[in-house]
Structure 1
């Protein structure tokens, strides 16, 4: 991993603004000209693939560099994922002593098909998920496609390819169709999607589980017992706004400096693109922080505990308001924004690992100590917020007199929940409504059936069971 990759073209010709670089004693100095093939001159946290002998895998690293050519360069985490897939392929090549450029006349002897077979073996042994295998094969195919554009000639096809029609719904809910390239290699990995209508999870950027009211209460009591102020406020912010981990922990002090409008019950905080607060895909949205929570955060910001952590921080920003709202005991951010100028100081910038560690080492043991053994992740708080919000609307609409009013209000509720949670597609928001209707019905039916079984069992003579 290169923390800071500088891209330029070396030249012996001096241009206006050229920067001279000193070479070795046996060679002459050269000038650095702006690179013409990449969008930016500097990239942070750039991955490279290195062979066991310390040498670079030239073709793969050139391919990674080519991914920086777009007007909007690929994000470093995406590039790191691609590099990881290719590194996995490289290790397999070296173990099997296979030349990735040697394409046999026999299809099953070609590197692409042999690697595909290997991935299927890993799946059967439970070492790999089909989704991961499909992604790795896709990364490999893109690499080979790039090789062909670079002039590499292969005597035989690397796979069988055809066009496939993909049906989907856009952000407004309209049915759309687009053509995609499909190969026999990627099609061989069948990723079975769960069709469990009564699942306890909601698909919202991952499998999320809304916490029932009793588990929410237990969670709050456990946080109170532990006494970690940063975690308590962060959890409440997630429960009250539906913000993801990356958003909660990249909030800055400046977001809580303003005085709310007179009579306001919440305070608006803009996050996403154009702000220092991170969101998924940089999506712009507004968090509505309840006034009671906003005031508690302001009290925390003026506390000795908060100022002590700020003093320990090695990141000195132009303004105090640019500092992260929550810092660890060592003065480091829990989650570092991608546009943070200090990110290059870290080989792997903080990405919420300390939060996960807190949940695993402190919060869950405290819950277990009080008899609660439910599983949860920080991201589940987002689904909990969405369900709580929808429940509030449904309770309000229960007073409606006509079916038409209920239907109109439900549509309004979905639109409002969608806006508050920043959903691109209305289908994601509808999943919360479907969850409420189907999962609750399933629980009621299960409860009734269990009561019926219990009554039947009570009629059995206990003497007959001895």
Structure 2
């Protein structure tokens, strides 16, 4: 039986859990010995940091699920601890179910409704209906179970020829558009245990660009900038970079000091900063692009870099007070966002160490997002109580809207709107122009909706018996 805890998640009576080995490495026995204390081992593989192991409720390792994780590790070209942690956390839910129901995941039946995987699917759907888990979480868990069985079959770890499979493969066909707008049919391999997830209702007042974004109007941007005047300098500059360059948080927080010096501004007052693969500054999917930063902002960044506050933070950090360091660090000297390059450096350092207790600590902008939610928004609402919440990523959309409107206002004679859109596409690094086109009529669309809403509400309100109307009549 599952129980509902205060956090709303479904739990089982089983105590099965995932434990993490900080530095995992397979060893090979060199020679036969009488007892383990006399054994001699040699390293038989690379070291893998934060590797997950599934433990049964009785405290012993789960042989079959850990064998699956090891087999999957052998097939992995580039190990990612987060990916393996996600797989383990999905499979341990299945392990708990098996223990609660006293089922053997390797015992297959001719009637598929009797198989553990089918019964687990039924339990997941019950949990969805009870509000214990989301449909997307349930889909992820059943897909993890199916992938588990598929690998067992591929590695001949189960006799599926004799007993069959606990599920059947099916193919679904969808229509997709390429970057040029051409449509084609794509076959997707699925299975008959798949759990349907209702499509999320599209927010017609949002721009889909790495998530649903809501640009701030110029008046709202001014309110944010005013509130930022009370913030510490590093947060001011981080927000300025987002709003005036359109850079993502990952890019802003991985800019290195050395990248800003010895660069001349162009005739328009920008420095051109290469970012992405090979630059040490991260972008989404490491896509190479050029970030244009206004000269005034570059000068402010250089002044901050030379400040005593910034120097003190660098002295506490991994890179020390050097040009290799990030422009922005926390008070503790830790990065706001750990770059891909530093992740690799830290990983190799821990692997080379003889210590097995070192933990790989990575940062992904949590401090900035927390600052926005816990400090900046409350500060804004002291004077603007009705100010709507926004995400840091919305600043990127705000930049895109500002840039597009500016380009449209100064469009050379004889050029159509597509010229402005293509410029914005290049500045924001959109792979597909359809993403940039969402910005084109965003504000006019909102204004049109507001006008229509006001007109029809005005025409209907005279028939509505609201307390406000009644009070007017009585007076």
**SS class of match (1:320):** coil
Shift of residue 26, structure 1, vs aligned partner: 2.2
**Alignment partner, residue 246 of structure 2:** 242
**8 Å contact kept, 1:173–1:425:** no
Work out whether 1:365 is the aligned partner of 2:381: no
User: 1:335 pairs with 319, 334, 337, which one?
Assistant: 337
**Alignment partner, residue 166 of structure 1:** 174
Shift of residue 331, structure 1, vs aligned partner: 0.9
Alignment of 1:165-244 (within 5 A): 165-186=173-194, 188-196=195-203, 199-225=204-230, 227-244=231-248
**SS class of match (1:164):** strand
Alignment of 1:38-437 (within 5 A): 41-69=46-74, 72-151=77-156, 152-154=158-160, 155-186=163-194, 188-196=195-203, 199-225=204-230, 227-261=231-265, 263-313=267-317, 315-316=318-319, 320-340=322-342, 341-342=345-346, 346-372=359-385, 373-397=387-411, 400=413, 405-406=415-416, 410-433=417-440, 435-437=442-444
**Alignment partner, residue 13 of structure 2:** none
Gaps of 5+ in 2: 1-19, 351-357
- Pair 1:438–1:78, CA change in 2 (3 A): farther
In 2: Cα distance, 1:354 partner to 1:463 partner? 51
In 1: Cα distance, 2:304 partner to 2:449 partner? 43
Shift of residue 391, structure 1, vs aligned partner: 1.9
In 1: Cα distance, 2:434 partner to 2:70 partner? 37
In 2: Cα distance, 1:96 partner to 1:71 partner? 33
**SS class of match (1:185):** coil
In 2: Cα distance, 1:72 partner to 1:265 partner? 44
Moved more, 76-85 or 144-153: 76-85
In 2: Cα distance, 1:350 partner to 1:337 partner? 9
In 2: Cα distance, 1:139 partner to 1:209 partner? 34
**Alignment partner, residue 18 of structure 1:** none
- Pair 1:65–1:201, CA change in 2 (3 A): farther
**Alignment partner, residue 19 of structure 1:** none
**Alignment partner, residue 16 of structure 1:** none
- Pair 1:92–1:386, CA change in 2 (3 A): farther
In 2: Cα distance, 1:346 partner to 1:79 partner? 16
Shift of residue 465, structure 1, vs aligned partner: 5.0
- Give the aligned length: 437
Shift of residue 233, structure 1, vs aligned partner: 0.7
CA RMSD of aligned residues (A): 3.0
Shift of residue 426, structure 1, vs aligned partner: 2.6
**8 Å contact kept, 2:242–2:395:** yes
When the two structures are superposed, what TM-score results if normalisation uses the length of structure 1? 0.84
In 2: Cα distance, 1:274 partner to 1:9 partner? 37
**8 Å contact kept, 2:26–2:43:** no
Shift of residue 451, structure 1, vs aligned partner: 5.4
**SS class of match (1:325):** coil
- Pair 1:435–1:194, CA change in 2 (3 A): farther
**SS class of match (2:274):** strand
In 1: Cα distance, 2:291 partner to 2:135 partner? 37
- Pair 1:461–1:329, CA change in 2 (3 A): closer
**8 Å contact kept, 1:10–1:32:** no
- Pair 1:43–1:31, CA change in 2 (3 A): closer
**SS class of match (1:274):** coil
Shift of residue 235, structure 1, vs aligned partner: 0.9
When the two structures are superposed, what TM-score results if normalisation uses the length of structure 2? 0.82
In 2: Cα distance, 1:66 partner to 1:423 partner? 38
Cα deviation code 1:399-418 (max 9, x no counterpart) = 757xxx42xxx222232222
Shift of residue 101, structure 1, vs aligned partner: 1.6
